[in-house]
A and B are shown apart, each in its own frame.
Chain A
């Protein structure tokens, strides 16, 4: 249905393009009214996000989007909620309200919102502007841009002609953090490298809330190279890297730095063979302890990945959590009551964020539909106006045509405002969606903890069973006069093992405590940052709504004035 409406409007562009007067501006509207980027299906919230955030190519896009390469975060003015005419748009800027008017609308809110240093604009990473949320005293910044996708060939498999090609992206970093030893640099990376980075971080930073990486996509190689797909991926990668840069601990990690800086092939191990990787503590365990009954902690340390849909993943996780809670006695007993309480609260929070995120999605859709239908109504009246003007025989017809045109113009303007409102709304409410993604990271971190605890408990029980075996052996061999050479040897071996296990246990306990501490500090950070982010989201959302509602009201008020003559005299 969408398509046929597109066609109808396009057909009608022709007769309208011939008329030169005020309808010309409206014609330019119509071009954009049915821009294919905008009228995609909105069932997938994320595609809405990516297409709308991509609209810096769109002439009438919200001008707060600036091409990433152009701007320097320190030099550009805070583009919180202002609207400037987009530098990319030419003729259409005459139709956008001149800056002074928009300023007048928004300047009140600017004054109100920019209170303290932690008050940042929405963290939509599709903006060219990125503000670090760190304390105002810290002037560190780390700005990452992903751009310039290029198709490259895989040289290694020369047997197969036309061997697989892949896409690389240019990852540019600007920073003043000293560890990087440079202020601006760029490297080429492919998606596989991101996966590697993500895997290495999960292993190295157990217990931390590591932002989840973009999904792998199981699509054909043909689709992989489609411009749209590549662009979506570019956006996703940029977001991911920016989230990493936002994390106070991870941004300083070697893995991250290496990823951002080292030219050529990414020097991080890519093997997925879990057992051969060096893990802190757990991998040093003697192999005989990793019995069948154990969940190999290394497996558990793997971050949740795969699947196309974060939402689905979240649901699966939620399900497994429910299963865990539902069983009579969980396999792992977490003794820290405070932690358990926090965990439950996080769980509840997640549920509500999910609900809000879903409703935000349908709100966005409803706003979009409103804008569309208003636009269609406007177009229908434009056609009517034109028709009446052409066929007019009587003055009453001309008068009616004039009235109609006023309404049509207003409707088209209002429609455009709805669309703009909506793309801003999407950006603000996307914070909800971001936090859902973060919840996955939280689960992962909690899982790190429970697996570490499991390891400790396993070692403890192994230790006690080893020790009881040693005792039995000792007791048995002491009965034999003169000793039993084989038994003594066995005892010695056993005691070796016990010592090794003791060491491993101590390592495991240290690891567990470390992860616990990570969990704790991360939870604190999550609460703190979430407060700020959500508050900003609310403010952004509300300011946006107010601003656009005022503008829409003005548009219609004009028509009210123009048609005041028709108002009935009695109430």
Chain B
């Protein structure tokens, strides 16, 4: 659990890789760990389940410790719920869903995913708003059948009646936009926010490229390891046919080569876990921010639309009042409803803006920490590898000297 340990310095409560720490005094804490991946089911239906262990002293929770079994789609459910409820907050990203079939159950992949899921839940648990979420509590405590029900409820395009309504409303507003001649969706004109959006979009590109090269670097390590292994074998064979001191020198070279091959494979794995994965995580985090940006745009649009509609309704109401129509009462009611909605929308939007401002600061700090650790581990790994290579080859030199003097 190398990359995200920094959170421990930062937050009051956090998780660790294998098991949560034991409770201390009366300070409120919530610590979660995702462990113990197990393959269940058969063939195409097969999936991995994880043990999620929660230790807490918060009164909202059922008890000091709870263990549940969860699978990937449960995490997705949690993420989706949080995304809906906590607009403006950067919801921690999940590792990618699909993977090439062949690797879906490889030990490396499973471990990487487990780690990423652990980090995901812990970030939620550490976030002062998100940690209070009821959905989180459900996720951490509900029985498996309950989870299953909730989870399957979420699949399908139309999730809930309210969602349905929202979609219709969106269509409605789009139509009215076109009718009113507003082809382009309304957008904020806050220059600082524009800068931020531009930053986020650009950042994703740069990070994606860095991550791509990091992944390639992992591959290069593996390839170099393989070629050292092959080289070692070939050199040993050559040593065998040479015989005498030279032959022995070749053999020693071959042996060292094979040793280094192993070191390289190990380092490749380290590189993947401690450097490439954090970069990928960074990319995902940025993508999550993009989703929040989209939400903010939606909220802004909604606010504008409602304000517009409200104005129209107000004009209409005044008209009706003037002509003393009997539709006034109804129109008045509608107007007040709309007004309430409009105020709500404005409030929602305002909240999002406020939250985002806080979140950005927190995000940047967290990322500096995460990347600092990742860089440290990367450099450590490379130094360790280079020193290992130097040591291995260096140990050959006296033997080679002995050969030439004999």
CB A30 to nearest CB in B, in angstroms, measures 15
A553 within 8 A of B: yes
A119 within 8 A of B: yes
Which 5 pairs of residues, A with B, have the shortest CB-CB distance? A566-B372, A553-B386, A559-B379, A549-B390, A556-B383
Residues of B contacting A91 in the complex (Cβ-Cβ under 8 angstroms): none
CB A202 to nearest CB in B, in angstroms, measures 28
State whether A538 touches B241 (Cβ < 8 A): no
B2 CB contact (under 8 Å) in A391, A550, A568: A568
A400 CB contact (under 8 Å) in B249, B368, B383, B394: B368
Q: How many residues of A contact B (CB 8 A)?
A: 71
**Interface members, chain A 381-415 (any B CB < 8 Å):** 381, 383-384, 387, 391, 393-394, 396-397, 399-400, 403-404, 406-407, 410, 414
Please tell me which stretch of A159-167, A168-176, A333-341, A355-363 contacts chain B, meaning at least 4 of its Cβ atoms lie within 8 angstroms of it.
A355-363
Given the interface pairs A373-B220, A380-B213, the reply to whether A363 lies near B389 with Cβ below 8 Å is: no
State whether B397 touches A542 (Cβ < 8 A): yes
B401 within 8 A of A: yes
Residues of B contacting A349 in the complex (Cβ-Cβ under 8 angstroms): 238, 241-242
Residues of B contacting A557 in the complex (Cβ-Cβ under 8 angstroms): 379, 383
B227 within 8 A of A: yes
| Proximity bits, B394-406, A CB within 8 Å = 1, else 0 | 1011001101110
| Proximity bits, B183-219, A CB within 8 Å = 1, else 0 | 0000000000001000100110011011011101101
Q: List 16 A-B contacts (CB under 8 A).
A: A349-B238, A352-B241, A359-B235, A370-B220, A373-B213, A374-B220, A380-B206, A383-B206, A387-B203, A399-B372, A534-B246, A539-B397, A539-B404, A542-B397, A543-B397, A568-B2
Best-surrounded residue of B217, B228, B240, B383 (most CB of chain A within 10 A):
B383
State whether B382 touches A355 (Cβ < 8 A): no
Residues of B contacting A119 in the complex (Cβ-Cβ under 8 angstroms): 404
Bound Cα distance A567, B217 (Å): 23
Other 12 A-B pairs with CB < 8 A, given A377-B216, A534-B249: A352-B242, A359-B230, A360-B231, A363-B227, A383-B206, A387-B202, A535-B400, A542-B393, A553-B386, A556-B380, A563-B375, A570-B5
B214 CB contact (under 8 Å) in A377, A553, A567: A377
State whether B6 touches A568 (Cβ < 8 A): yes
State whether B220 touches A366 (Cβ < 8 A): yes
CB B265 to nearest CB in A, in angstroms, measures 13
Bound Cα distance A489, B255 (Å): 77
Given the interface pairs A345-B241, A356-B238, the reply to whether A546 lies near B378 with Cβ below 8 Å is: no
CB A32 to nearest CB in B, in angstroms, measures 19
State whether A352 touches B238 (Cβ < 8 A): yes
State whether B368 touches A560 (Cβ < 8 A): no
Given the interface pairs A359-B235, A380-B213, the reply to whether A568 lies near B373 with Cβ below 8 Å is: yes
A367 within 8 A of B: yes
CB B343 to nearest CB in A, in angstroms, measures 31
**Interface members, chain B 348-406 (any A CB < 8 Å):** 360-361, 364-365, 367-369, 371-373, 375-376, 378-380, 382-383, 386-387, 389-390, 393-394, 396-397, 400-401, 403-405
State whether B368 touches A396 (Cβ < 8 A): yes
Bound Cα distance A535, B234 (Å): 16
Residues of A contacting B361 in the complex (Cβ-Cβ under 8 angstroms): 394, 396
Bound Cα distance A294, B286 (Å): 81
State whether A406 touches B375 (Cβ < 8 A): yes
Given the interface pairs A543-B397, A563-B372, the reply to whether A384 lies near B210 with Cβ below 8 Å is: yes
Bound Cα distance A570, B396 (Å): 36
State whether A366 touches B368 (Cβ < 8 A): no
| Proximity bits, A213-243, B CB within 8 Å = 1, else 0 | 0000000000000000000000000000000
State whether B220 touches A400 (Cβ < 8 A): no
Residues of A contacting B360 in the complex (Cβ-Cβ under 8 angstroms): 394
Bound Cα distance A396, B394 (Å): 42
State whether B237 touches A352 (Cβ < 8 A): yes
Residue of A nearest to B254 (CB): A356
Given the interface pairs A112-B401, A545-B389, the reply to whether A353 lies near B238 with Cβ below 8 Å is: yes
B111 within 8 A of A: no
Residues on B close to A: CB < 8 A? Answer: 2, 5-6, 8-9, 195, 199, 202-203, 206-207, 209-210, 212-214, 216-217, 219-221, 223-224, 226-228, 230-231, 233-235, 237-238, 240-242, 246, 249-250, 253, 360-361, 364-365, 367-369, 371-373, 375-376, 378-380, 382-383, 386-387, 389-390, 393-394, 396-397, 400-401, 403-405
State whether A550 touches B390 (Cβ < 8 A): yes
CB A567 to nearest CB in B, in angstroms, measures 6
State whether B364 touches A373 (Cβ < 8 A): no
Bound Cα distance A485, B304 (Å): 135
CB B244 to nearest CB in A, in angstroms, measures 8
State whether A568 touches B5 (Cβ < 8 A): yes
CB A189 to nearest CB in B, in angstroms, measures 37
A376 within 8 A of B: yes
A446 within 8 A of B: no
Bound Cα distance A65, B206 (Å): 39
State whether B383 touches A560 (Cβ < 8 A): yes
Given the interface pairs A109-B397, A560-B383, the reply to whether A400 lies near B371 with Cβ below 8 Å is: yes
Bound Cα distance A403, B376 (Å): 9
State whether B237 touches A355 (Cβ < 8 A): yes
Bound Cα distance A520, B400 (Å): 28
CB B8 to nearest CB in A, in angstroms, measures 8
A553 CB contact (under 8 Å) in B2, B217, B365, B390: B390
Residue of B nearest to A350 (CB): B241
Given the interface pairs A380-B209, A384-B206, the reply to whether A538 lies near B253 with Cβ below 8 Å is: yes
State whether A566 touches B400 (Cβ < 8 A): no
Residues of A contacting B226 in the complex (Cβ-Cβ under 8 angstroms): 366
B378 CB contact (under 8 Å) in A384, A400, A407, A541: A407
A564 within 8 A of B: yes
Residues of A contacting B397 in the complex (Cβ-Cβ under 8 angstroms): 109, 112, 539, 542-543, 546
Bound Cα distance A65, B114 (Å): 52
CB A559 to nearest CB in B, in angstroms, measures 4
Residues of A contacting B367 in the complex (Cβ-Cβ under 8 angstroms): 396, 400
State whether B393 touches A538 (Cβ < 8 A): no
State whether A566 touches B220 (Cβ < 8 A): no
CB A303 to nearest CB in B, in angstroms, measures 26
Residues of A contacting B400 in the complex (Cβ-Cβ under 8 angstroms): 535, 538-539, 542
State whether A565 touches B210 (Cβ < 8 A): no
Residues of A contacting B210 in the complex (Cβ-Cβ under 8 angstroms): 377, 380-381, 384
State whether B372 touches A403 (Cβ < 8 A): yes
A566 CB contact (under 8 Å) in B242, B375, B405: B375
Residue of A nearest to B2 (CB): A568
Residues of B contacting A399 in the complex (Cβ-Cβ under 8 angstroms): 368, 372
Residues of B contacting A140 in the complex (Cβ-Cβ under 8 angstroms): none
A531 within 8 A of B: yes
State whether A531 touches B209 (Cβ < 8 A): no
CB A356 to nearest CB in B, in angstroms, measures 4
Residue of A nearest to B208 (CB): A380
State whether B5 touches A542 (Cβ < 8 A): no
A318 within 8 A of B: no
State whether B364 touches A397 (Cβ < 8 A): yes
CB B36 to nearest CB in A, in angstroms, measures 22
Bound Cα distance A7, B6 (Å): 39
Bound Cα distance A393, B361 (Å): 10
Bound Cα distance A545, B228 (Å): 13
CB B86 to nearest CB in A, in angstroms, measures 22
State whether A566 touches B230 (Cβ < 8 A): no
Residues of B contacting A363 in the complex (Cβ-Cβ under 8 angstroms): 224, 227-228, 230-231
State whether B227 touches A366 (Cβ < 8 A): yes
A365 within 8 A of B: yes
Bound Cα distance A352, B242 (Å): 9
State whether A549 touches B387 (Cβ < 8 A): yes
A369 within 8 A of B: yes
Residue of A nearest to B198 (CB): A391
Residues of A contacting B386 in the complex (Cβ-Cβ under 8 angstroms): 549-550, 552-553, 556
